[in-house]
Amino acid sequence: MKILVTGGLGFIGSHTVVELQNKGYDVVIIDNCSNSSPEVIKGIISVTGKSPIFEKFDLREKEKVKEFFSRHNDIEGVIHFAASKAVGESVENPLLYYENNLSTLVYLLQELTNKASSHFIFSSSCTVYGQADELPITEDAPVKEAESPYGNTKQIGEEIIRDTCRVTPSLKAIALRYFNPIGAHPTAEIGELPIGVPQNLIPFITQTAIGLREQLSVFGDDYPTSDGTCIRDYIHVVDLAKAHVVALQRLLESKNTSNYEVFNVGTGTGSTVLEVIQSFEKVSGKKLNYKIVDRREGDITAAYADTSKANNDLGWKAQSSLDNSLSSAWKWEQKVRN
Give CA–CA dist 138/268, Å, rounded.
10
Q: Which residues on adjacent β-strands are paired with residue 337?
A: none
Rounded to 5 degrees, what angle do the CA atoms 194, 195, 197 make?
85
Q: What is the CA radius of gyration of the chain?
A: 19
Give CA–CA dist 103/100, Å, rounded.
6
CA 48 to chain centre: 21
> What SS3 state is found at 223?
coil
Q: Confirm whether 260 is a catalytic residue.
A: no
Catalytic residue among 25, 97, 107, 150: 150
Given a contact cutoff of 8 angstroms between Cβ atoms, the answer to whether 199 and 273 are in contact is: no
Bond preceding residue 136 cis, omega within 30 of 0: yes
Task: Please give the positions annotated as active site.
Answer: 150
